[in-house]
Structure 1
Amino acid sequence: MSYNRREFLQQLGFGALQLGVISAIPASVWASSLQYGQLPRSSPDEQGMTAKGIMDFANAVETDKLNLHSLMILRQGKVVAEGWWAPYAPDLKHTLYSLSKSFTSTAIGLAVAEGKLTVEDKVVSFFPNDKPATISPNLAAMRVKDLLTMSTGHDKDSTPALRGGPDKNWVKSFLAQPVEHTPGTFFVYNSGATYMLSAIIQKLTGNTLLEYLKPRLFQPLAIEDMDWETDPNGINTGGWGLRVKTEDIAKFGQLYLQKGEWNGKRILPAAWVEEATRSHIQSKGGARPAEENDWLQGYGYQFWRCRNDGYRGDGAYGQYCIVLPKEDLVIAITSETSNMQAILDHVWNHILKSVKITRVSEDKDVLAGLQKKLTTLNLPLTPGKPDGTLAAKLNGKSFKIADNELKISKVSFEFAKGWCLFRLKDDAGEHLIVNGIGGWKIGMTDLSTLPLKLVLTPVPGEIKSKIAGNGAWIDDNTFEMTWRFIETAHYETVTCRFEGDNVQVSFKRSLAILGNTKDPRPVLNGKMLT
């Protein structure tokens, strides 16, 4: 993609304007009118919660550097607090990772209610053309219920065999895996099992999981603009890959809290909600003893049980839909953290403890402090100086990049007050990233997000991604950029080190930063073009 200067300036203006709008949106619109599909708003004190507890939660997750992207708290069906850490924003979708599983389970519940299947149906019965020549007794015994409860009988997660196997038919690959245990008796977290639920929906209805859910779940809840990643044959991945907004996560949790009713209409049978959210099998995970571990409270139909008699859908790196029926409380969170238990600990220690039986008499200054906090949340900018002694020398300069496996051939820089324009040319064309200096610049990019993701499955038809860029001079010879792909959970840093007429460009994705591992992409070496 190539840009002329006018197009660039238009994008820069759009980015600056959008960020201004985002930062001006009240994080808890306690007294404003609602837009179509929005949940009703209230204040914490009116719904029996203390603003201080919510403030303490926000401060605690920032102190622990848990990299939250969004928070929404519902009490008694009303939003009492909401906030987005810029550059994340209310109108952006967010990767859910395994929180997608709870939506897949819901599709099965809807299909059961429509009489399309039962949870006792055998998995092989749906795929006569994909089953192996020899069917083991354990495979023959595997039920839909065993897929739902992660008790398929596999000794390990089947997902790597599906994604990395030579056969692009993931259903066939799943059915070919050995089933070492009697189904229903052995828990192992298995995203491949959830994928099979998606494949069953598509087999039975002729619609993808996403298409099936649109009129039955998403439209009644006014959830729009969602998408879902697919396997090589166009089957939604099921166990991961759904993207919706934070408020959509909250709506989903509220639907379950209300036993499947929405605006007086039955969406999902109450009996299914009860069955899906109770413990069916002892779960595994976490490093702490059971009384302190939210992964050892039991597993339902693609829902985890929690401490404090709650349940949740959750996804890798801290995507949460937490439902606490006794407290009439729903909490939606998106983030990118390596310590998911820490987020839950802060939920219990601060948000849960802020719930009172009756209306709270709250100091107006405390409420105002919470409001200010939630409307000014920000993720850290690239640390460093806004100005560098080399900026003038590099302005408008291009560097020819030595041959590399990324097929990047040229990079260039343009510096001005408050921003840096970075261009990267590869075999697909020229890509442009606008980086704010001292703030974020929002734009679009056709750079692929796949290298940043945990699972390398695509969103059908996605060519461009929303991106927020920021840069700073981390020393006299090094300019570093942070690129947040703001409809994913992920970001990357791009470090440019200059020495004479040479540049070294290195990439580090956020998953490598979290795991303290090396990014697999090579360091690029370039020489200035005269």
Structure 2
Amino acid sequence: MTTTFPRSTPSDLGIDARGIARFLDALESTPDVEPHSIVLLRHGQVAAEGWWSPYASDRVHLLYSLSKSFTAAAVGIAVREGLVDLDATALSHFPELDADVTDERSRRIRVRHLLAMASGHREETLDRARAADPENLVRGFLRTPPDEEPGTVFAYNQPCTYTLGAIVRRVSGGSLVDFLRPRLLDPLGIDDLAWRRDDTGAELGFSGCYAPTSAIAALGQLYLQRGVWNGDRILDEDWVAAATSTQVANPDEGNPDWSQGYGFQFWMARHGFRGDGAYGQFCVVLPDQDVVLALTGQSLDMQAVLDAAWQHLLPAVDAADVDAAGDSGLEARLASLGIPAVAGGRLPDLAVAGPFRGDGIDGLAFTRDGARWRAALDVDGGTLSVLVGEGEWAVDGPLAASGAVAPDGTVLVDVRFVETPHLAHLRVDLAAGTATASWATQPLHDGPLTLRRPAD
């Protein structure tokens, strides 16, 4: 990972460290919010950064729908290079589908409509598009007739973004990552980014991007700088202006920061604009404050994360009483962030029983691995093997696990997939010889054996 920003202190950047500390307090204490990382930039410099162990700065994290903002950047670059016209129809990029797409509204969907989630459909079409054509999602999407005229209604719609990715692949002759590597990733110093692909070999586009938190911050900083990086223009200024302003209204969205309008794969918010992904992946850009906030996590209540930012972080910027004395304490706290390990008694001899079986678990066995236990979980036709720490997280490649014994004798093992938001709970009844597994948050398009950075 080579993405770096100059380091400074909050007070030197006009931010009160106490407000950042209160923001951290809120993230750590709010129900259904679990932070994994934070990078806070102001004036292009790091005011604060930290990772909650076992998550780390050199690891990628699954971004879920924040992937859309990277896909949109690829479209923006293609527009700048004259490869894509925003007012061209989506169908024009797939002439082989012309005879299949007979609905007039579908034929009128333009690239700008895809970017704005304004294809004319009133709701998500992913399942219907897959049903219409299990092998070609673009064809299935274009054969799913819009309910309204394209450009008139908002609906968060995964095939819109998938089609954008397909357009970039079509005009460039390569993959999304191949297209982005020399044009965006290398200039921004992002050397570790991978994308989950579907059965056709195409990046999902709407999800599946794995990148470090610094890459999220860099993308936000690029948009904050109106498309210029180190003096070189990567995105046209009019593209940035359109992408980060309302292209279609969405007043019916339930949460206040999701009903302020939608740009080109960016949400407008009560303050600034942002890209985000399921379970708390955020790229928040505040142009008025010259601030970028990048976050990853496992949070079910994403509105609560933004509420905490507006309540604690925003007032700390250019606060009247910036406290420089708080900088060192905040730095120490950020360096020692961690998610508590599983609490309880010491693990007994787990090798005397098992393998354990239960609902969804074909087998769970424990063996010694040095001073620790190793759990081997047979699931989904394969084996997941992970070291288990006691009183700590044992990090084992893309996994981290911690275990203990509950007062009733149940063995508790938590397994974190540290390149993703996800956590699995294993519960073992030694006497009964049974085990259960449950997700803290349900993965959206992977199972336990594939919840990791995909191969390039």
Q: TM-score, normalised by structure 1?
A: 0.79
1:468 corresponds to: 400
**Equivalent of 1:443 in 379, 386, 396:** 396
Deviations 1:71-94 (A, max 9, x none): 110011100101111111100100
What are the superposed Cα offsets for residues 6-42 of structure 1, whole Å, 9 maximum, x if unpaired? xxxxxxxxxxxxxxxxxxxxxxxxxxxxx94311110
Query: What secondary structure sits across from 1:299 in the alignment?
Result: coil
Kindly indicate whether the alpha-carbon contact (under 8 Å) linking 1:260 and 1:273 is maintained by their aligned counterparts in 2.
yes
Q: 2:433 aligns with which of 503, 516, 520?
A: 503
Q: Measure how far apart 1:117 and its partner are.
A: 1.8
Residue pair 1:420, 1:437 contacting (<8 A) in 2 also: no
Deviations 1:178-199 (A, max 9, x none): 2111000011011110000001
What is the CA distance between 1:154 and its match in structure 2? 1.2
The aligned counterpart of 2:351 is 395
Find 1:156's aligned residue among 104, 117, 123: 123
Aligned partners of 2:280 and 2:418: how far apart in 1?
Answer: 15
Please state if 1:494 is matched with 2:426: yes
Of 359, 365, 375 in structure 1, the residue corresponding to residue 335 of structure 2 is 375
Would the aligned equivalents of 2:129 and 2:144 in 1 still touch at CA under 8 Å?
no
Determine the structure 1 residue equivalent to 2:219: 252
Q: 2:74 aligns with which of 107, 124, 134?
A: 107
Does structure 2 conserve the Cα–Cα contact (< 8 Å) formed by 1:158 and 1:193?
Answer: no
Equivalent residue, structure 1, for 2:413: 481
- Normalised by the length of structure 2, the TM-score is 0.92
Q: Deviations over 1:314-353 (max 9, x none)?
A: 1111111011111010000011111111100111111111
Instruction: Choose which of 166, 171, 177 in structure 1 pairs with 2:138.
Output: 171
**What stretches of structure 2 of length at least 5 have no aligned partner?**
449-456
Superposition deviation, residue 395 in structure 1: 3.4
2:452 is matched with: none
Task: Tell me if structure 2 keeps the 8 A contact 1:131–1:175.
Answer: no
Q: 2:95 and 2:402 mapped to 1: Cα distance?
A: 53
Seen in structure 2, the aligned counterparts of structure 1 residues 74 and 492 have a Cα distance that, compared at 3 Å, is same
Cα shift readout 1:430-466 (whole Å, capped 9, x = no counterpart) = 542111000001113xxxxxxxxxxxxxxxxxxxxx0
Contact 2:71 2:164 in 1 (8 A): yes
Specify whether residues 212 and 332 from structure 1 end up closer, same or farther in structure 2 by C-alpha distance, changes over 3 A only.
same
Contact 1:97 1:239 in 2 (8 A): yes
Instruction: Please tell me the residue identity of whatever aligns with 1:436.
Output: G
Q: Is the 8 A contact 1:437 1:471 kept in 2?
A: yes
- Partners of 1:343 and 1:37 in 2: CA distance: 25
Q: Distance in 1 between matches of 2:40 and 2:356?
A: 50
Question: 1:139–1:428: structure 2 CA closer, same or farther, 3 Å change rule?
Answer: closer
Name the counterpart of 1:184.
Answer: 151
Q: 1:362 aligns with which of 297, 310, 323?
A: 323
Report how far residue 133 of structure 1 moved: 3.3
**Corresponding position of 1:449:** none
1:83-138 alpha-carbon deviations (Å, 9 max, x no partner) = 11111110010011111111111111111111112110011111122345351121
Q: 2:177 aligns to what SS in structure 1? A: helix
TM-superposed deviation, 1:414: 3.6
Contact 2:89 2:108 in 1 (8 A): yes
How many aligned positions are there? 445
Quote the Cα distance in structure 2 between the aligned partners of 1:274 and 1:84.
Answer: 32
- Aligned to 1:188, the other structure's residue is in SS state coil
Q: Which residue does 2:241 correspond to in 1?
A: 274
SS in 2 for 1:129: helix
* Alignment correspondent of 2:175: 208
Q: Is the partner of 2:355 in helix, strand or coil?
A: strand
**Residue 228 in structure 1 maps to residue 195 in structure 2:** yes
**90, 100, 125: which is aligned to 2:57?**
90
**Which secondary structure state, in structure 2, belongs to the residue aligned with residue 307 of structure 1?**
coil
Unmatched runs of 5 consecutive residues or more in structure 1: 1-34, 445-465, 514-519, 522-530
Measured at CA, do residues 239 and 419 of structure 1 come closer, stay the same or move farther in structure 2, by a change above 3 Å? same
2:19 to 31, 39, 53: 53
Q: Give the aligned partner of residue 324 of structure 1.
A: 286
Q: Tell me the distance in 2 between the aligned counterparts of 1:129 and 1:198.
A: 17
2:257 corresponds to which letter in structure 1? D
**Quick check: 2:138–2:159 contact (8 Å CA) kept in 1?**
no
Q: Whole-Å Cα distance in 2 between the matches of residues 87 and 285 of structure 1?
A: 38
SS at match of 1:294: helix
Q: Secondary structure at the match of 2:191?
A: coil
> For residue 300 of structure 1, what is the aligned residue in structure 2?
263
3-state SS of 2:95 partner: coil
Residues 206, 418 of structure 1: alpha-carbon distance in 2 compared, 3 angstrom cutoff? same
Deviation at 1:474, TM superposition (A): 1.4
AA aligned to 1:329 is V
Name the CA shift for 1:486/1:163 in 2 (closer, same or farther; >3 Å): farther
Q: Is the 8 A contact 2:106 2:143 kept in 1?
A: no
Separation (CA, whole Å) in 2 of partners of 1:354 and 1:181: 44
Secondary structure of the equivalent of 2:41? Answer: strand
CA contact (8 A) 1:418 1:436 kept: no
Corresponding letter in the other structure for 2:351: N
Q: Give the distance between the partners of 1:62 and 1:49, measured in 2 at CA.
A: 21
Larger radius of gyration: 1
Give the root-mean-square deviation of aligned CA atoms: 2.4
Q: C-alpha separation between the residues in 1 aligned to 2:402 and 2:386?
A: 10
Q: Give the aligned residue type for 2:4.
A: Q
Does residue 422 in structure 1 map to residue 375 in structure 2?
yes
Q: Residue 360 of structure 2 contacts residue 437 of structure 2 at CA under 8 Å; is this kept in 1?
A: no
CA distance in 1, matches of 2:124, 2:427: 36
Match of 2:100 in 1: 133
* Counterpart residue type for residue 316 of structure 1: A
